[in-house]
Amino acid sequence: MSGNCLFCKIVRGEIPCRKVYEDDDVLAFHDINPVAPVHFMLVPKQHVVSLLEADESHAALLGKMMLLASRLAKEQGLENGFRTVINSGKGGGQEVFHLHVHVIGGGNIPPMVKRS
């Protein structure tokens, strides 16, 4: 846990969220500023800053989050597919420095990178 971390505060229940799923290791909740009809995030309850800081000790947790992302996406109606995004570090556009996996879908999901 990290005192001033926004997502740690959500994990602790100090800031409300629209919960999608919770277990001992992972919390999933809807993004406050969705970019698509379905947009939620999975966060580890343990404070991990980003994938840049992740190591072998997080392997099982990360694997669990990937499988949960797929299960929850389907439960949220995204049987046809979804996008996962993990922004890592300032160079990756990360804004909240507690590791999270975005799950995005529904509506029109454009190609991620526009090629000329």
CB of 10 to ligand AMP, least distance (A): 6
Interacting residues toward Zn ion by CB under 5 A: 2, 5, 7-8, 47, 98
The 8-class DSSP code of residue 58 comes to G
| 39 part of the active site | no
Cβ proximity to Zn ion, 26 vs 78, nearer residue: 26
CA distance 2 to 25: 16
Among the listed residues 55, 95, 111, 115, the single contact to ligand AMP using CB under 6 A: 95
**Residue 95 site contact among ligand AMP, Zn ion, none (CB < 5 to 8 Å, cut-off depends on kind):** ligand AMP
Read off φ and ψ for residue 61, nearest 5 degrees. Answer: -60, -45
Q: Tokens 């005192």, residue?
A: 3
Phi-psi region of 69 (alpha: psi -120 to 50; beta: other; left: phi over 0): alpha
Residues assigned a catalytic role? 100
